[in-house]
Amino acid sequence: MPKSTDSADEKTATINKQPRYFYGWNVVAASFLAHLAYAEHHSSMLGFFFKPLQDEFGWGRSTIAAVQTIARVSEALVAPIIGPLVDRYGPRALMPIGAVIVGLTMLGVTQINAIWQFYLLRGIVVAIGFSLMGALVTDVAINNWFIQKRGRAIAIGRLGSNLSNIIFVPVTVFVIATSGWRTMFVVFAVITWLVVLMPAFFLMRRRPEDMGLYPDGIRPSIAETRSRQQVYAAREVAPISEPIWNRREVLSTRSFWLLAASFGITSMAFQGINISLAPYIQDLNYGEATLASVMTVRAVIMATSLPIMGLLAEHSHKISIRVTPFVIQGIGSFLFLLAGQPLFLWMAVAVYGVGMSGVGVVQGVIWANYFGRLSLGLVRSTAYLVAFGFGAVGPIAMNAVFDTLGSYRPAFMVIIGLFTISAFFMAAARPPRAKRFATANEITSSPG
């Protein structure tokens, strides 16, 4: 009898024993690399191409900036298709396809000689490729693997984006100055293939349940008698049954519209700032060395603040935590109005960088906290349609103001108000109540 008891105890210990290394961190690593390749698609990076494109083709700033608007619209239109595909098939099936599309199309951009070609390749095809390998896909992947450590995992994944700016800002300035803008697009293509194709195929997986694991590597508790929605919203150990949604149910919730409006308005504001920051600094008579330093320092500040913001985002159920990044961005936008003085320029860059990193992580976390893991691709992609719709306005509106008034200052004043509105909407959002629940295995049995 004692021997039988010992065997039972050993079996229980084996079941409850947690592996030393959780596979979910491989998913974070692949996401990090994908964000590393995302540099060219940032609005701020496109700003470095304004002058060479103007010099060669005679295009105005708003004409060039319109490519980012087209890209945002393209991403918004394909997101509702890609989101459910991520839920069903996982990132491993989508990201390599995206990398191939992005790389080949960037090589095609080097051969353009008309604005419509630039719009088609850089604005539409590249945008579709990035949608298959970008934040929508990687954030859904990470959120499926983590609940308790969701904020820090997303923060680490997004560090790749900041590192890409640290690396590629000086590289872009140097390559454009010495070899021309076309060469830089070749560099972007090669980097995309190197850091996305194989890592995504070998490391990415859809959900831990597909590998017999659990979110965070923690076996769920048997005590599931409490409200599943409360358990999930509190970011505790994943319940056996989790919220599931269809698009109609999502669109019927007040929370969806508040979150989508908050992030959408914010996207419009920072897309406008990002694409215009380089020419704005040049208009203030700062040299190329200062410009490159400013963009690099901003990326460094965002990278160093991301881990802190990730930890804070794990407490985004508190209003003060989820609203703060929007307030910080508003303050940074105000400081940009004073950026004619070097001290205020550097203060603006620092403050705005912290706010940007905070908003990105909060967005990555809060959708999963509010709507759960299992329909997250559908939920996030529906929100992208709203957010990118707003974001598409930012680049062209910001530069239209410049082309009309000869200054970015009026646009910065409007942007301060936009961040204030975003903060208000974010404060008003509350977790919705799901009507239906299911387990991960009930959703689909096909491995991702």
For residue 387, give the nearest of 399, 379, 376 by alpha carbon. 379
Domain that holds residue 243: 23-443
Tokens of 425: 């909407």
Highest mean pLDDT among 164-168, 192-196, 233-237, 302-306: 192-196
pLDDT band at 225 (very low <50, low <70, confident <90, very high): very low
Comparing 111 with 274, which gets the higher pLDDT? 111
pLDDT band at 429 (very low <50, low <70, confident <90, very high): very high
- φ, ψ of residue 76 to 5 degrees: the values are -60, -40
CA gap 91, 98 in Å, rounded? 10
For residue 34, give the nearest of 86, 112, 77, 87 by alpha carbon. 86
Give the pLDDT confidence score for residue 220 in this predicted structure.
67
Torsion from C-alpha of 128, 130, 136, 139, nearest 10 degrees: 160
For 267-305, the three-class secondary structure string (H helix, E strand, C coil) is: HHHHHHHHHHHHHHHHHCCCCHHHHHHHHHHHHHHHHHH
Q: Is residue 1 part of a domain?
A: no
Q: Is residue 33 part of a domain?
A: yes
pLDDT over 90 (residue 297): no
Q: In sequence order, what E strands does 282-383 have?
A: none
Q: Is residue 322 part of a domain?
A: yes
Tokens of 301: 């500040």
Give the pLDDT confidence score for residue 89 in this predicted structure.
93
pTM for this one?
Answer: 0.81
Tokens of 279: 């020419």
Give the pLDDT confidence score for residue 448 in this predicted structure.
52
The CA-atom distances, in angstroms, between 403 and each of 98, 285, 286, 327, 407 are 35, 18, 20, 29, 8
**Which residues are within 8 A (CB) of 146 and not within 5 positions of it... i.e. 6 or more apart?**
24, 153, 154, 215, 216
pLDDT over 50 (residue 9): no
Contact 18, 138 (CB under 8 A): no
Percent of the chain scoring above 90 in pLDDT: 53
Q: Is residue 39 part of a domain?
A: yes
Q: Give the helix/strand (H/E) hosting 436.
A: strand 436-438
Comparing 212 with 138, which gets the higher pLDDT? 138
Comparing 61 with 174, which gets the higher pLDDT? 174
> What's the rounded mean pLDDT across residues 358-367?
92
Q: In sequence order, what E strands does 187-268 have?
A: 242-244
Tokens 């049954």 locate to 241
Comparing 14 with 146, which gets the higher pLDDT? 146
pLDDT band at 192 (very low <50, low <70, confident <90, very high): very high
pLDDT over 90 (residue 254): yes
pLDDT over 80 (residue 189): yes
Contact 348, 295 (CB under 8 A): no
pLDDT over 70 (residue 100): yes
CA gap 371, 233 in Å, rounded? 8
pLDDT tens for each residue of 244-253: 999 999 999 9
Contact 329, 355 (CB under 8 A): yes
Question: Which of 124-138, 154-168, 254-268 has the weakest average pLDDT?
Answer: 154-168
Tokens of 136: 């929508």
Which DSSP category does 361 fall into?
H
Identity of the amino acid at 143:
N
3-state SS class at 437:
strand
pLDDT band at 38 (very low <50, low <70, confident <90, very high): confident
Give the pLDDT confidence score for residue 223 in this predicted structure.
40
Give the pLDDT confidence score for residue 18 in this predicted structure.
55
Domain count, the chain: 1
Q: Is residue 7 part of a domain?
A: no
> What's the rounded mean pLDDT across residues 356-383?
92
pLDDT over 50 (residue 328): yes
For residue 88, give the nearest of 381, 429, 391, 384 by alpha carbon. 381
Give the pLDDT confidence score for residue 221 in this predicted structure.
58
Q: Is residue 370 part of a domain?
A: yes
Q: Is residue 104 part of a domain?
A: yes
Give the pLDDT confidence score for residue 157 in this predicted structure.
93
Give the pLDDT confidence score for residue 170 in this predicted structure.
82
CA gap 209, 212 in Å, rounded? 5
Q: Is residue 8 part of a domain?
A: no
> What's the rounded mean pLDDT across residues 149-168?
88
Q: Give the helix/strand (H/E) hosting 438.
A: strand 436-438
Tokens of 168: 């590629």
Mean per-residue pLDDT of the chain:
85
Question: Which of 115-129, 212-226, 390-404 has the weakest average pLDDT?
Answer: 212-226
The CA-atom distances, in angstroms, between 289 and each of 94, 350, 351, 414 are 39, 18, 21, 29
Give the pLDDT confidence score for residue 290 in this predicted structure.
86
> What's the rounded mean pLDDT across residues 385-403?
77
* CATH number of the domain within which 57 lies: 1.20.1250.20
For residue 172, give the nearest of 272, 34, 42, 347 by alpha carbon. 42
Helix spans in 17-42 (H): 24-36
CA gap 447, 440 in Å, rounded? 11
- Residue 106: how many CB atoms within 10 A of its CB? 25
Torsion from C-alpha of 245, 81, 24, 41, nearest 10 degrees: -130
Question: Which of 24-38, 113-127, 249-263, 274-288 has the weakest average pLDDT?
Answer: 274-288
Give the pLDDT confidence score for residue 271 in this predicted structure.
77
